[in-house]
């Protein structure tokens, strides 16, 4: 979670592997495994080859899943009246863009419905909800919820009609 000076919050998983590093890793693993398996296959012991292939496919899938998680980002920007939410995968553009008035937006932390499930952090506006920060731990979500509430608060305390809902939102935390 990164809070930028221009009150922009960027939420994304911590990632230390670039796509290039992933390719190098895959190449290193594949060259060893496939060379060994190919040597055995040439000598007639071909059953090593499908196992090597399966295993490399599993490794590739694991890396792909991990990289895909890396690239997902949620950006929340605040200006005087509005709050702008953009979700998307880096390099593939924004797939969801929302602009909500700050005054009518609330932060909700839904407790898990089942044991060991994560807390759901949501922003809610006029009956619409968006879930955020799925990549964070529960503790991180609670901290983010507090920070979001601090940032949203100035915009909507001036709207008296929603003041009763402030309490309910807080009760959800």
Q: Phi then psi for 78, rounded to 5 degrees?
A: -115, 130
Nearer to another protein, 29 or 89 (CB): 29
Cα 85-90-95 angle, rounded to 5 deg: 45
Closest approach of another protein to the CB of residue 127, in Å: 32
- How far is Cα 159 from Cα 81, in angstroms, rounded to an integer? 12
Nearer to another protein, 45 or 90 (CB): 45
Closest approach of another protein to the CB of residue 144, in Å: 11
Nearer to another protein, 113 or 116 (CB): 116
Nearer to another protein, 83 or 144 (CB): 144
The dihedral through the CA atoms of 108, 109, 111, 116 has a sign that is positive
Closest approach of another protein to the CB of residue 121, in Å: 15
Instruction: By CB under 8 A, name the binding residues for another protein.
Output: 1, 14-17, 21-22, 25, 28-29, 32-33, 36-37, 40, 43-45, 47-52, 54-56, 58-59, 62-63, 65-67, 70, 115-116, 137-140, 143
For the chain, the first-to-last Cα distance in angstroms comes to 19
**Sheet arrangement for strand 128-132:** 105-110, 120-125, 128-132
Closest approach of another protein to the CB of residue 170, in Å: 21
- How far is Cα 17 from Cα 19, in angstroms, rounded to an integer? 7
């Amino acid at each position: 979670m990164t809070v930028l000076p221009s009150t922009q919050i960027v939420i994304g998983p911590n990632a230390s592997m670039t796509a290039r590093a992933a390719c190098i890793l895959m190449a290193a693993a594949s060259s060893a495994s496939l060379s060994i398996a190919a040597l055995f296959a040439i000598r007639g012991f071909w059953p090593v080859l499908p196992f090597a292939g399966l295993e490399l496919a599993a490794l590739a899938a694991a890396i792909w899943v991990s990289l895909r998680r890396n690239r997902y980002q949620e950006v929340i920007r605040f200006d005087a009246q509005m709050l702008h939410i953009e979700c998307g995968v880096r390099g593939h553009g924004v797939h969801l863009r929302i602009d909500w008035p700050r005054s009518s937006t609330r932060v909700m932390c839904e407790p898990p419905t089942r044991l060991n499930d994560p807390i759901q952090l949501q922003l809610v506006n006029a009956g619409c909800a968006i879930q955020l920060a799925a990549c964070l731990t529960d503790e991180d979500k609670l901290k983010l919820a507090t920070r979001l509430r601090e940032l949203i608060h100035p915009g909507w305390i001036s709207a008296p009609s929603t003041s009763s809902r402030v309490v309910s939102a807080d009760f959800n935390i």
